C-alpha cells in the first residue's frame, strides 16, 4: 500500500479538506467565504451530516459528528463516515486530502481516517482495467492537536496489516496454496526482531503432526507450519502469548464434500484466521509492542482424493491422542489442535486461536461479530471483549460448560471430531481445549471473515477481522497486570 500519512501544523490553502466537526463548532476561523459559511450553517441546521463544497480548485467536505454517551459507538460512526468519504474522494479523483480535527477529542479523527483508508481498499489484481478502478488517494495530511506522530504510525501500520491480510484472503487457491501462503507471510517485509520459520512437509512429518497431515492427505500440495516469534527484550510478560490461526487455504470438505453454492464457493477464505495472525504479528513487531507473542500458522487445503482421510478413520495427533474423524469437513479443529499442542513448548501465559471454524457460529450471530469462549482467567476475556467493542470487532462470549465435553467421546478413539448439531460452535472449541493444559481462548470468525455484500469500511470479500482486535488487546496487555481481575 503506497499511502503517505503526514502530520502538518496548518491547513494548506490550496488543497481539498475534510473537516470533522460538532454541529455547534465555530467555523469562522477556517478559510470559508461568507456565503459558504452561510450555506454550511443552513445545511447543519437542516440536519445534514455531510456537506460538500466545490470551490473549483478544491473541494471542502464537512462531516458533522453527533455527541454520543457511548464513546465506542461514536468511534464507529466516525469510521463509517470515513468510509463514505472514501467513495467521495474516489468520485472526485483526489490523490491528496487534508483531514482537519475540529473536535479535538482523541481518537475520533483516528477512527475517521481508519474508516477512510480501510474503505478505500479494493482487490483489483485480476481485473483488466485496474487503473480505472483504483482509488487514486496517495497522501493524507492530518491537522490535529490531539493525534501525535506515534498514533499516526500505528494507524499506518495497522492499515497496512489489514490491507495485506485482505489481499491474502481474497487470493484464490490457484495463487494461495499452503506453500504460497507461507512464502507470502515471509515476504511481508518483516520488521526487525520478528522471526519467521516455515516447517515443510518433511519437518511436519518428523514432528508427527497427525492432524495437519491427516487433513493434507487428499491434497496435491504439501502442508506448511509457519512459526512467527516476537520476543522483545523489554517485554512485560515472562511467558508469551501464543496466537494460533486456522490456515485452511481451501475447504472443499474433503470426502464429506460441501455442496458448492453458498457453502464451498468462498472457502478460499478459510485461512482468514492464519492471515489475521500474520497481520497482527507484523503490526505488533512494527510498533515494537513490549509483549512476547508467538504466531503459529498451520496451513493446508482440504480435498477429497484417493488417499484422503475417510469418515471413520482414526488419526493420531501431535500430542499422541487418537481422533476418530467422523466428518472430514470438521478439519479446522484437526490442524488447530496440533498447533495448540505445539504451543505448549512455549509454556504460554495464554493461547488465543482464531478460526473460521463453524457454520454454527455464523448461524448464531451472522456477520456481525465474533463468537468467543474459553477457560482462561476472566480478566483476559474481559479485556478482549473490551478491545472488541473499542475497535468494533465485537465478541460475544459463549458458555464453555463441562457438560459439553462428553459430547466428543468416541466409541473407538480418545475423541471424535464432531458432536451433535446443537451447540456446534461450542463443541468445536471444546475439542481444541483437549489439546493443551494452558489457558485457551477460542475465537470463531466464520460469520464475519468474508462478506458477500459490502459493509462500509469492511468492504466486500475479506474483512481481515481479528487484526485490529488482537492488536488492541496486545497493546493493552501490559495493563492487564495492573487490574485486579
Residue 265: Cβ within 10 Å count? 11
Cβ burial 282-304 (10 Å sphere, 16+ → b, else e)? bbbbbbebebbbbbbbbbbbbbb
Does the protein bind Zn ion through residue 301 (CB under 5 A)?
no
User: Nearer Cβ to Zn ion, position 114 or 251?
Assistant: 251
Q: Which of residues 250-279 bind Zn ion (CB under 5 A)?
A: 251, 270
Binding mask 407-426 for ligand BES (x = CB under 6 A): -----------x-----x--
Q: Which of 343, 327, 355 is nearest to 258 (CA)?
A: 327
Does the protein bind Zn ion through residue 295 (CB under 5 A)?
no
- CA separation (Å) from 478 to 192, 278, 383, 399, 472? 22, 21, 11, 27, 11
Q: Which of 166, 333, 367, 468 is flagged as catalytic?
A: 333
Tell me whether strands 450-455 and 370-374 are parallel, antiparallel or unpaired.
unpaired
User: Nearer Cβ to ligand BES, position 74 or 427?
Assistant: 427
139 binds, among ligand BES, Zn ion, none (CB under 5 to 8 A by kind): none
Q: Is 49 marked active-site?
A: no
What is the smallest separation between the CB atom of 324 and ligand BES, expressed in angstroms? 13
Does the protein bind Zn ion through residue 329 (CB under 5 A)?
yes
What is the smallest separation between the CB atom of 401 and Zn ion, expressed in angstroms? 25
Please identify which residue in the block is written with the cell numbers 480548485: 57
Does the protein bind Zn ion through residue 349 (CB under 5 A)?
no
478 close to 388: Cβ distance less than 8 angstroms: no
Does the protein bind ligand BES through residue 359 (CB under 6 A)?
yes
Does the protein bind ligand BES through residue 393 (CB under 6 A)?
no
Q: How far apart are CA 236 and CA 258, in angstroms?
A: 45
Which of 229, 270, 338, 433 binds ligand BES (CB under 6 A)? It is 270
Q: How far apart are CA 186 and CA 192, in angstroms?
A: 13
Does the protein bind Zn ion through residue 429 (CB under 5 A)?
no
What is the smallest separation between the CB atom of 408 and ligand BES, expressed in angstroms? 11
Q: Which of 49, 186, 258, 382 is flagged as catalytic?
A: 258
Contact partners, residue 362, CB within 8 Å, separation at least 6: 446, 447
Nearest residue by C-beta to ligand BES? 359
Binding mask 240-259 for ligand BES (x = CB under 6 A): -----------x--------
Which of 115, 332, 374, 466 binds ligand BES (CB under 6 A)? It is 332
Which of 331, 338, 353, 393 binds ligand BES (CB under 6 A)? It is 331
298 close to 337: Cβ distance less than 8 angstroms: no
Residue 45 burial (CB < 10 Å; 0-12/13-18/19+)? exposed
Q: Is 15 marked active-site?
A: no
Residue 139 burial (CB < 10 Å; 0-12/13-18/19+)? middle
Binding piece for ligand BES, criterion CB under 6 A, among 31-39, 142-150, 161-169, 329-337: 329-337
Binding mask 272-311 for ligand BES (x = CB under 6 A): ----------------------------------------
What is the smallest separation between the CB atom of 378 and ligand BES, expressed in angstroms? 27
Q: What is the secondary structure of 327-341 as a DSSP string?
A: -TT--HHHHHHHHHH
Contact partners, residue 155, CB within 8 Å, separation at least 6: 5, 110, 113, 114, 117
Residue 429: Cβ within 10 Å count? 29
What is the smallest separation between the CB atom of 176 and Zn ion, expressed in angstroms? 15
Beta bridge partners of 6: 141
Does the protein bind Zn ion through residue 388 (CB under 5 A)?
no
What is the smallest separation between the CB atom of 357 and ligand BES, expressed in angstroms? 6
- CA separation (Å) from 124 to 117, 172, 246, 457? 16, 13, 25, 17
User: Nearer Cβ to Zn ion, position 20 or 178?
Assistant: 178
Q: How far apart are CA 86 and CA 378, in angstroms?
A: 39
Binding piece for ligand BES, criterion CB under 6 A, among 327-335, 344-352, 386-394, 430-438: 327-335
Q: How far apart are CA 270 and CA 249, in angstroms?
A: 6
What is the smallest separation between the CB atom of 254 and Zn ion, expressed in angstroms? 7
Q: What is the secondary structure of 95-118 as a DSSP string?
A: SEEEEEESS--TTHHHHHHHHHHH
Binding piece for ligand BES, criterion CB under 6 A, among 9-17, 215-223, 328-336, 461-469: 328-336
Query: For residue 234, what is its C-alpha cell?
Result: 523489554
Does the protein bind ligand BES through residue 52 (CB under 6 A)?
no
Query: For residue 123, what is its C-alpha cell?
Result: 482487490
Residues that bind Zn ion (CB under 5 A): 248, 251, 270, 329, 331-332
Q: Catalytic positions, please?
A: 258, 333
Residues that bind ligand BES (CB under 6 A): 251, 270, 327, 329-332, 356-360, 362, 418, 424, 446
Amino acid at each position: 500500500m503506497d499511502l503517505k500519512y503526514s502530520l502538518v501544523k496548518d491547513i494548506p490553502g490550496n488543497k481539498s479538506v475534510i473537516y470533522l466537526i460538532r454541529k455547534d463548532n465555530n467555523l469562522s476561523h477556517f478559510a470559508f467565504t461568507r456565503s459558504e459559511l452561510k450555506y454550511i450553517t443552513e445545511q447543519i441546521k437542516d440536519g445534514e451530516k455531510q456537506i460538500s463544497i466545490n470551490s473549483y480548485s478544491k473541494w471542502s467536505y464537512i462531516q458533522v459528528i453527533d455527541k454520543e454517551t457511548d464513546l465506542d459507538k461514536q468511534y464507529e460512526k466516525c469510521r463509517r463516515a470515513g468510509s463514505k468519504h472514501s467513495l467521495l474522494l474516489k468520485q472526485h479523483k483526489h490523490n491528496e486530502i487534508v483531514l482537519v480535527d475540529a473536535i479535538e477529542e482523541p481518537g475520533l479523527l483516528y477512527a475517521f481516517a481508519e474508516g477512510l483508508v480501510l474503505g478505500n481498499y479494493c482487490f483489483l489484481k485480476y481485473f483488466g482495467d485496474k487503473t480505472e478502478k483504483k482509488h487514486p488517494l496517495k497522501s493524507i495530511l492530518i491537522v490535529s492537536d490531539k493525534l501525535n506522530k506515534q498514533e499516526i504510525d500505528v494507524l499506518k501500520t495497522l492499515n497496512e496489516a489489514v490491507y495485506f491480510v485482505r489481499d491474502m484472503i481474497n487470493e484464490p487457491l490457484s495463487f494461495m496454496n499452503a506453500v504460497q501462503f507461507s512464502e507470502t507471510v515471509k515476504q511481508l517485509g518483516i520488521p526487525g526482531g520478528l522471526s519467521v520459520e516455515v516447517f515443510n512437509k518433511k519437518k511436519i512429518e518428523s514432528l508427527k503432526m497427525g492432524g495437519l497431515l491427516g487433513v493434507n492427505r487428499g491434497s496435491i500440495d504439501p502442508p506448511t507450519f509457519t512459526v512467527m516469534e516476537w520476543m522483545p527484550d523489554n517485554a512485560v510478560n515472562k511467558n508469551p502469548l501464543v496466537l494460533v490461526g486456522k490456515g485452511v487455504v481451501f475447504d472443499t470438505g474433503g470426502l464429506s464434500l460441501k455442496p458448492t453454492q453458498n457453502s464451498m464457493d468462498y472457502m478460499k477464505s478459510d485461512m482468514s484466521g492464519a492471515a489475521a495472525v500474520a497481520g497482527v504479528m507484523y503490526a505488533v513487531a512494527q510498533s515494537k509492542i513490549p509483549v512476547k507473542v508467538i504466531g503459529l500458522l498451520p496451513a493446508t487445503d482440504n480435498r477429497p482424493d484417493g488417499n484422503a482421510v475417510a469418515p471413520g478413520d482414526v488419526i493420531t495427533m501431535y500430542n499422541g491422542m487418537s481422533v476418530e474423524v467422523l466428518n472430514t469437513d470438521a478439519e479446522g479443529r484437526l490442524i488447530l489442535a496440533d498447533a495448540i499442542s505445539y504451543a505448549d513448548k512455549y509454556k504460554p501465559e495464554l493461547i488465543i486461536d482464531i478460526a473460521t471454524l463453524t457454520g454454527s457460529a455464523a448461524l448464531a450471530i451472522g456477520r456481525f461479530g465474533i463468537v468467543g469462549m474459553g477457560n482462561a482467567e476472566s480478566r483476559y476475556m474481559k479485556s478482549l471483549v473490551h478491545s472488541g467493542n473499542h475497535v468494533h470487532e465485537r465478541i460475544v462470549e459463549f458458555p464453555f460448560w463441562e457438560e459439553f465435553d462428553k459430547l466428543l467421546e468416541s466409541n473407538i478413539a480418545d475423541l471424535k471430531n464432531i458432536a451433535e448439531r446443537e451447540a456446534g460452535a461450542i463443541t468445536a472449541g471444546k475439542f481444541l481445549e483437549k489439546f493443551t493444559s494452558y489457558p485457551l481462548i477460542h475465537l470463531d470468525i466464520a460469520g464475519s471473515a468474508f462478506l458477500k455484500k459490502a459493509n462500509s469500511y469492511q468492504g466486500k470479500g475479506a474483512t481481515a477481522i481479528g487484526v485490529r482486535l488482537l492488536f488492541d488487546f496486545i497493546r493493552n496487555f501490559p495493563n492487564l497486570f495492573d487490574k485486579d481481575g
